[in-house]
């Protein structure tokens, strides 16, 4: 597929291809947005490179996607903005279903702290070296990961402790 890139994005893709040719898996566009998928073990290294060398200094969000496939089930996307050049790029990494783990980008952008907590809370992907990896929406006592596809829409009865409906009962 032919890519339609702005000058800075073209420069970004070229720099990534040149420097991380073994880590870069694919570059594609969909509905005008540019996505770059890289190897999971190089995510922080490439994040640092994008921030320091290519001015992607603003992290809007990090979110997870459950692909629901048998290999490399989970995908984590970094929504990066270059304020200087006015460009947006999505960096994606994939991880396995069993014990998914990634390196934390919170050392690169402090904004990653809560965003990664959200990914952990919703998908159960753990982030190594995260300063404060707790659940963010669900209580810590909750055992499931709600945005995984196998979690039912109605929830799991009894999974959240609730107050008694009658005041006297224990």
Q: Is 5 in the site for other proteins (CB under 8 A)?
A: no
Q: Exposure string (b/e) for 15-45, b if CB count within 10 Å is 16 or more?
A: ebeeebeebbeebeeeeeebebbbebebbbb
Task: Report the Cα–Cα distance between both ends of the chain, in Å, rounded.
Answer: 64
Could you give the dihedral angle defined by the CA atoms of residues 28, 29, 34 and 36, in that order, rounded to the nearest 10 degrees? Answer: -10
Among 1, 2, 71, 139, binds other proteins (CB under 8 A): 139
Min separation Cβ 12 and other proteins, Å: 17
Give CA–CA dist 7/26, Å, rounded: 19
Q: Taking CB under 8 A as the rule, which mask of x and - marks residues 23-62 in contact with other proteins?
A: -------xxxx-x---------------------xxxxx-
Task: Choose the stretch contacting other proteins; rule: CB under 8 A; options: 10-18, 19-27, 40-48, 136-144.
Answer: 136-144
Q: Exposure string (b/e) for 52-65, b if CB count within 10 Å is 16 or more?
A: eebbbeebebbbbe
Query: Taking phi first (over 0 means left), then psi (-120 to 50 degrees means alpha), and beta for anything else, what does residue 66 get?
Result: beta
91-110 residues near other proteins, rule: CB under 8 A: 109-110
Task: Choose the stretch contacting other proteins; rule: CB under 8 A; options: 8-16, 17-25, 95-103, 159-167.
Answer: 159-167
Among 20, 39, 144, 151, binds other proteins (CB under 8 A): 151
Min separation Cβ 7 and other proteins, Å: 16
Q: Is 77 in the site for other proteins (CB under 8 A)?
A: yes
The owner of tokens 């006015």 is 86
Interface residues with other proteins (CB under 8 A) are 30-33, 35, 57-61, 63, 65-66, 77, 79, 83, 86, 88, 90, 109-111, 113-115, 118, 122, 132, 134-141, 146-147, 151, 153, 161-163
């Amino acid at each position: 597929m032919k890519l339609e890139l702005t000058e800075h994005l073209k420069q970004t893709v070229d720099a990534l291809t040149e420097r991380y040719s073994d880590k870069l898996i694919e570059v594609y566009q969909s509905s005008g947005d540019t996505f770059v998928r890289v190897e999971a073990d190089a995510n922080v290294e490439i994040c640092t490179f994008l921030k320091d060398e290519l001015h992607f200094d603003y992290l809007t969000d990090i979110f997870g996607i459950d692909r629901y496939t048998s290999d490399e089930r989970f995908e984590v996307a970094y929504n990066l903005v270059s304020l200087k050049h006015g460009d947006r790029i999505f960096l994606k990494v994939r991880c396995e279903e069993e014990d998914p783990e990634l390196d934390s980008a919170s050392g690169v952008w402090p904004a990653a702290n809560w965003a990664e907590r959200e990914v952990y809370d919703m998908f159960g992907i753990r982030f190594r070296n995260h300063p404060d990896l707790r659940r963010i929406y669900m209580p810590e006592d909750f055992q499931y990961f709600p945005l995984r596809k196998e979690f039912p829409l109605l929830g799991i009865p009894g999974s959240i402790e609730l107050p008694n409906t009658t005041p006297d009962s224990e």
